[in-house]
Amino acid sequence: MKANNFNLVNRIQEPTPKWFKIIRSAGLILSAVGGTLVAAPVALPATLVSIGGYLLLGGTLASAISQTAISSEEFGKKSEKNPENPKLDQDSLQDSK
């Protein structure tokens, strides 16, 4: 099995699938609502501020994780390319079948 070396910067720069774009947008909205609750200039009940902190955390994690998602088809295309020796890629593909 061929090891796929895809670092974080490459993953973030790849196009994000549609479903994960929706999750990313929802995460950004949750982060905005949570940040507003946490940083409100008026005194809010502690429970509401706590909920705001959890919304902020969950939204940030959802956005960050969904940004690194790439489709398996694009991942496969990237891992099959070898600019130094294209013949090597064809041989390794045939060996894996």
In which residue ranges of the chain is pLDDT below 70?
A: 1-6, 73-97
| Residue 73 CA, distance from chain mean position | 16
As given in the structure block, the two tokens for residue 53 are 């902190």
pLDDT at 11 (0 to 100): 81
Q: Are 49 and 81 in contact (CB under 8 A)?
A: no
Could you identify the residue written with the tokens 């009940």? 45
In tens, the pLDDT along 32-49 reads 999 999 999 999 999 999
pLDDT at 82 (0 to 100): 47
To the question of pTM greater than 0.85 for the whole model, the response is: no
pLDDT at 88 (0 to 100): 46
DSSP string, 45-89: -HHHHHHHHHHHHHHHHHHHHHHT---HHHHHHHHH--SS-HHHH
Largest CA distance in the chain: 67
pLDDT at 78 (0 to 100): 55
